Chain A
Amino acid sequence: MSDKLKQIINQQGEQHNTATLDQSDDIVQLVGFIIGEEEYAVPILAIQEIIKPFTWTRVPQVPPYVLGVFNLRGSVIPLIDLRVKFGLQLKKHNEETRFFVLKQDDEVAGFVIDKLTAAIRIKKENIGPAPDTISGKDTMIDGVGKQEDRIITILKVDKLLERDF
């Protein structure tokens, strides 16, 4: 786990100590990240690790958002660019770019995100359903979390890891 994440988690921990959020099961822990202009989040437990970008190998005959595969300590893992998947332009990787390695059951994949924001603790009651226009079983959106000053789109990990081509 990257130092940065640890740092963020620590910071968050401190904040929450002061804010005395109640520690019951009603709290959802998420990790937030930015793609384009929007902030998204996935459940913290779905994240296997967050790493700095490194080289990957292109794979033919896949949609443009599948950049290829990379070697994660001996495993070959697909790499998906969420910018492209969400209909944005491919951007050059920079200092803030990270690979999110998500895991559910046996499915593992890496996702390119523009920037990591923070670990987020949010009350269940503050999470609303996805807007009607984009809900349905095909949507990637699990819900919308409301924090004081911002709105975070929570993504479905199983949909992210699902092959849709």
Chain B
Amino acid sequence: MDEFQEILQDFLVESFELVEKLDEDLVELENTPEDLELLNGIFRVAHTVKGASSFLNFDILTHLTHHMEDVLNKARHGDLIITPDIMDVVLESIDLMKSLLNTIRDTSADAGIDVADCVIKLDKISGGDGDVPTPVATKAPEPVVEEVVEDEEDEPDYDNMDPDELEAEIEKLLSQRQDEDRAKREAKIEAGEAVLSVPEIIDEDVAPEPKAEEPIVSAPVTTPVPVKKAPIIQKEVKKELPKGDAKAAAPTKRAPATVEQTIRVDVKRLDHLMNLIGELVLAKNRLIKINDDVEERYEGEEFLEELNQVVSIVSLVTTDLQIAVMKTRMLPIGKVFNKFPRMIRDLTRELNKKIELEISGEDTELDKSIVEEIGDPLVHIIRNSCDHGVEVPDVRVASGKSETGTITLKAYNEGNQIVIQIDDDGKGLDAEVLKDKAIEKGLITEKEADSMSEKEAFLLIMKPGFSTAASVTNVSGRGVGMDVVKTNIDKVNGIIDVESKKGEGTSMKLKIPLTLAIIQALLVGVQEEYYAIPLASVLETVRISRDEIYTVEGRSVMRLRDDVLSLVHIGDIFEVERILDASEHAYVVVLGLGTSKLGLIVDTLVGQEEIVIKSLGDYLKGIEGIAGATIRGDGGVTLIVDVVALMEMAKGVKAMAMIDSSAGDPVNNEKTKASDYTVMIVDDSKTDRMIMRKALEPMGITLVEASDGQEALNILKQGEHNFDCMLVDIEMPRMDGYTLATEIKKYNKYKNLPLIAVTSRTGKSDRMRGVESGMIEYITKPYSSDYLSSVVQRNVNFKAEFL
């Protein structure tokens, strides 16, 4: 039954939200047991869940919440003071309620959880101050449920009504309800200003008040269905009404504030929207690139300005759109923080410690997918702080601290990142103890331990299997928790920073990017390849000359202000083939990750660009050092560097190939016959090429012709031939001989390739230019064929036996 499913879904979503809120409220209630507003709120939650669950025929849940309601009702009317012991029972019942809700979500039924004990306890409490315990408590829960459901409200016997009467009754109740709604609405309009100022937050965070209406809303929808169902609906309607009236006085004041202009949207739709935006960003990048190209080609043309304007508008709107869509996916981090007061409370009782939790910045917003990922890590960190960080009261007093420990949990924006900071004023971390433990567990060697900085030692707590706890307790000590933290934070490209002072406390910072799909990146070039480095990990870029690089123990390092920065060439990490010789200067991208830094040498810096992260797919997933790929403005694919992995890989790269570049020249192959020698003739005149060919053919060598510099370069790049020598004309279209020579000499591989100029230019300055560009011989036209042949023979080391 779809309708039922739909109602059920709504019920579940709302109930979970309510319960989440409940935890927080209850803990607060324990501190201020007289806070009537709070009590009312909690009571309403229990009541709403009860109402809705009885409507949906979840008898066990109804039974439980009914008794919770009793206790809370008493407290609300001042007949009962909430003591920690009572609170324990109430919290227990809420836990049961949660598991019941979970069961309902998974199985659509609330069977399988025994609530009898808790109900008895609840009942004892509510009966405890004078009332005779109700028979419900002593009876087995199941039959009672029936009784409770059937008899708890004084209502007409709908089961025995005939359909017409029923219709009339429904009509009556509905109109009553409508009147009431109207009254409420008017109240809202009166408070119009307040309504307007309510921010439009698109999330599920709808306050409890409207929930009570839920069954009513469904009532008209359900009326046409068979009469059999009607009694239930009516009971619900009936039940709601008196409560509504009773509450009317108090909540009308609150009503306007709880109205939010929200709409529930399936996350999948938002994801799809985000994907489309991603495509749009790619298209925008492409447009910008085309615009640049057009600008270059048609400089000064009038239509350019118009095009420019359009392009900038498109790019502006795309960016805004992207931010807007990103915002719809944002949730306040308070959603995660909410569960911690309760957790701390439970932990303090369990561990016999006194701990206060201070939360700030819960309004800070984060992408939904990230909010989901950071819940677990935070639980582990806070448990850790409670168990290992904050000391027991005696110890605290002895060391001159206040008896109550404080854990501060705060979230704030920092640039493109969200920082979640967890501080405690406990005993802090001891780097030496951590190192000893790690060595003991075989996680690091002693040598590694010696070279570790304090900060690096702190990060040891993130290693799987690491634990300093002497014994495994219920709370922690298995050495799993902090590993989970690291894994999850890594998953969202976050960074963990640990600071600690022995005896004063520990501070942990989780730095998390705002969103996962689109990031700012620095594009760098190496040889003819490009890579994107997430800008969040880039601290700075420096231009250095080759002699600023020193070698220490086989590793390249450089001085960066007062620090020594270890260097690695991006080409060594990604196995880039070195064809072009690196220039005198190189760029160093300083990568920072927590406390560690690394200088990444690249050939060129291309610039900053907004990139959309795409996965490499199953076939290529898990390639070390590559986090994904993106499509650039020109339609090409650029790989995104995984900085965490790259830093790990850099440790393995010892010598740097940038210095000992491949001097072993593959060109010098053993020649076994005359045709193994290959010479390229580059001349734009066919006649000249023919003359040269005629002069050289008698030697039996292989000849390849090119009609200009560009073509020659292409032939060379294709690498089909291993040339032993090139005869180059100077004056040629497209690319002249000098440029060709300069280009060729850029390739390390061809550094030693003899280039012979064959030209009619005889001026001294021409010869000089030839030498400068790398020509080793200069033959002036006209020449005799013997002369040419002998020059070539000399330059290719032609073996005499082939003559």
* Residue positions of A touching B, CB distance < 8 A: 55-62, 66, 68-71, 74-78, 92, 106-109, 161, 163
* A61 & B623 in contact (Cβ 8 Å cutoff): yes
B803 within 8 A of A: no
Partner of A57, one of B529, B625, B720: B529
Partner of B616, one of A56, A59, A92, A107: A59
* A108 & B575 in contact (Cβ 8 Å cutoff): no
* A69 & B620 in contact (Cβ 8 Å cutoff): yes
Partner of B623, one of A59, A92, A107, A161: A59
Q: How large is the interface on B (under 10, 10 to 19, 20 to 34, 35 or more residues)?
A: 20 to 34
* A74 & B631 in contact (Cβ 8 Å cutoff): yes
Q: A59-B616, A66-B620, A107-B619 are in contact. List 19 more A-B contacts (CB 8 A).
A: A55-B636, A58-B529, A59-B626, A60-B576, A60-B626, A61-B623, A61-B626, A62-B623, A69-B637, A69-B639, A71-B637, A74-B282, A76-B614, A76-B616, A76-B629, A76-B631, A78-B620, A107-B617, A163-B619
Q: Please report the C-alpha to C-alpha distance between residue A12 and residue B6 in the assembled complex, in whole angstroms.
A: 54
Q: Please report the C-alpha to C-alpha distance between residue A68 and residue B718 in the assembled complex, in whole angstroms.
A: 19
B residues within 8 A CB of A163? Answer: 618-620
Query: Are A71 and B636 CB-contacts (below 8 A) given A57-B529, A60-B626?
Result: yes
Chain B, 704-729, CB within 8 A of any chain A CB: 718, 720
Chain B, 730-789, CB within 8 A of any chain A CB: none
Smallest Cβ-Cβ distance to A161: which chain B residue: B619
Q: Please report the C-alpha to C-alpha distance between residue A74 and residue B282 in the assembled complex, in whole angstroms.
A: 9
* B637 & A92 in contact (Cβ 8 Å cutoff): no
* B637 & A76 in contact (Cβ 8 Å cutoff): yes
Smallest Cβ-Cβ distance to B621: which chain A residue: A163
- What are the 6 tightest A-B residue pairs by CB atom distance, in nearest-first order? A60-B574, A57-B637, A76-B629, A78-B619, A76-B614, A60-B575
A residues within 8 A CB of B620? Answer: 59, 62, 66, 69, 78, 163
Q: Please report the C-alpha to C-alpha distance between residue A36 and residue B403 in the assembled complex, in whole angstroms.
A: 80
B residues within 8 A CB of A161? Answer: 619
Nearest Cβ distance between residue A79 and chain B, in whole angstroms?
10
B413 within 8 A of A: no
14 A-B residue pairs with CB within 8 Å = A56-B637, A59-B626, A59-B639, A60-B575, A60-B623, A62-B620, A66-B620, A68-B637, A71-B631, A71-B637, A75-B614, A76-B615, A78-B620, A92-B718
Chain B, 519-556, CB within 8 A of any chain A CB: 529
Q: Please report the C-alpha to C-alpha distance between residue A82 and residue B575 in the assembled complex, in whole angstroms.
A: 22
Q: Which of B573, B637, B720: most chain A Cβ within 10 A?
A: B637
Query: Are A78 and B529 CB-contacts (below 8 A) given A69-B637, A71-B637?
Result: no
Nearest Cβ distance between residue A76 and chain B, in whole angstroms?
5
B155 within 8 A of A: no
Smallest Cβ-Cβ distance to B617: which chain A residue: A78
Q: Please report the C-alpha to C-alpha distance between residue A61 and residue B573 in the assembled complex, in whole angstroms.
A: 9
Nearest Cβ distance between residue B764 and chain A, in whole angstroms?
43
Smallest Cβ-Cβ distance to B571: which chain A residue: A60
* A69 & B574 in contact (Cβ 8 Å cutoff): no
Smallest Cβ-Cβ distance to B577: which chain A residue: A58
B residues within 8 A CB of A107? Answer: 617-619
Smallest Cβ-Cβ distance to A107: which chain B residue: B618
B residues within 8 A CB of A56? Answer: 637
Binary contact readout B610-654 vs A (1 if CB under 8 angstroms, 0 otherwise): 000011111110011110010100011111000000000000000
Nearest Cβ distance between residue A48 and chain B, in whole angstroms?
14
B residues within 8 A CB of A76? Answer: 614-617, 629, 631, 637
B residues within 8 A CB of A109? Answer: 617, 619
Query: Are A57 and B636 CB-contacts (below 8 A) given A69-B629, A76-B629, A92-B718?
Result: yes
* B631 & A78 in contact (Cβ 8 Å cutoff): no
Q: Which of B575, B619, B636: most chain A Cβ within 10 A?
A: B619
B358 within 8 A of A: no
B279 within 8 A of A: yes
Q: Please report the C-alpha to C-alpha distance between residue A61 and residue B645 in the assembled complex, in whole angstroms.
A: 13
